[in-house]
Amino acid sequence: MLIKNPLSWQLKENQATPETIYKQRRDIVKKLGLAAAITPFTSNAQASLFDVFSAKKDPVAVMDPRQDLVGRPSSLSTSDLELTPEPKVLTYNNFYEFGSSKGQPAELAKGFETRPWTIEITGEVAKSVTLDIDDVMKNMMIEERIYRHRCVEAWSMNVPWLGFTLASLLKLVKPTSKAKYVAFETLYDPKKMPGQASYSLGGGIDYPYVEGLTIEEAMNPLTLMTVGLYGKTLAPQNGAPLRLIVPWKYGFKGIKSIVKIHLLEQQPPTTWNLLAAEEYGFYANVNPNVDHPRWSQASERFIGEGSLFSSRRQKTLMFNGYGEQVASLYKNLDLTKNY
């Protein structure tokens, strides 16, 4: 008899999140019969998506930035922390395109239009393609994943994201053997993103914001292309309509409002590494043993119930607690030098 032991951070079948909204949503999924209907794409289905994604689209009306969104519950969810309250996830943000202080993005991103929206995937692939975000959301398997989120500023949250694996998206374009890295780029539109138009408001960043992963990191099952949170589509301040979530890395790796993905042979530049290489490395793995030059990373302020100022401190976990799943990616890498 084969007995499968779950990883320490995985959600066990008998562990239900206490949030009423998730119980309600799972009931909806059950009633609609969606759980049985959602299955991973076959190779033939993936091939057929090229025709769907490549078709020219007529302009569509601007969507409500937060529409209901149902995701299949995932066993890859974390299980040992309470959820950060939704209002805090929506108002405590780093998104310098809409201001460099925590409260500015929620205010300055109001009215940010995310339709129409396309994502270009180019580079070392069998076929470059431009995808419409609505086609992506209709054809990808959307999952609900509760992930720990750790900011390099030593605060953390526990967030219920909705999205699909980056691997499932990249498999559609068939990366070549030369594809060693995956680069990402945020929308550049200073008229819509005031932080891009103002040096002081935008924190002195040279826009557009860019990020990158190794191909092994990109293809890891935990790496999520995120389109929603808390049962709804992403709010503009959280990176609508599409952002990256890599839960074992510091939050600045989670590039927001993505419009371009480029696969390449050489390591790509990344925004914060360009701005201050001694403080923000390319890998940016959560590591309690490597301090930021200006503060310790040994512990973090967890943002949960109550006041932001009364948030409890907790020990920082190596790889943010996901070491069992990702440590093998770095077995020959000195994570002190390659921070």
142-175, pLDDT tens digit by residue? 999 999 999 999 999 999 999 999 999 999 999 9
State the CB neighbour count (10 A cutoff) for residue 137: 18
Confidence tier at 53 by pLDDT (50, 70, 90): very low
Residue 261 to residue 259: CA distance in whole angstroms: 7
In residues, how long is the chain?
Answer: 339
pLDDT of residue 79: 78
Angle at 339 between CA 209 and CA 121, to 5 degrees: 35
The DSSP output letter for 125 is B
Please compute the mean of the pLDDT values over residues 320-326 and round it to a whole number. Answer: 98
Mean pLDDT of the region 79-95: 94
**pLDDT tens-digit series, residues 110-145:** 999 999 999 999 999 999 999 999 999 999 999 999
Phi, psi of 117 (to 5 degrees): -150, 130
Q: Is 238 annotated as a binding residue?
A: yes
Taken in order of first residue, the domains within the chain and their CATH numbers are 20-285 (3.90.420.10)
Mean pLDDT for the stretch of residues 178-187: 98
Largest CA distance in the chain: 63
Per-residue pLDDT, 1: 39
86 labelled ligand-binding: no
d(CA 311, CA 303) in angstroms, rounded, equals 5
> Between 10 and 35, whose confidence is greater?
10
CA nearest neighbour of 166 among 219, 128, 114, 129: 219
Number of Cβ atoms within 10 Å of the Cβ of 56: 6
The number of beta carbons lying within 10 Å of the beta carbon of residue 70 is: 15
Q: What is the pLDDT of residue 80?
A: 80
The pLDDT > 90 percentage for the chain reads: 77
Q: Is 287 flagged in the annotation as binding?
A: no
**CA separation, residue 21 to residues 10, 26, 138 (Å):** 20, 9, 22
At 186 the three-state DSSP class reads strand
What percentage of residues in the chain have a pLDDT greater than 70? 81
The verdict on whether residue 93 carries a ligand-binding annotation is yes
**So what's the pLDDT on residue 309?**
78
Residue 143 annotated as lining a ligand binding site: no
Is 207 annotated among the ligand-binding residues?
Answer: no
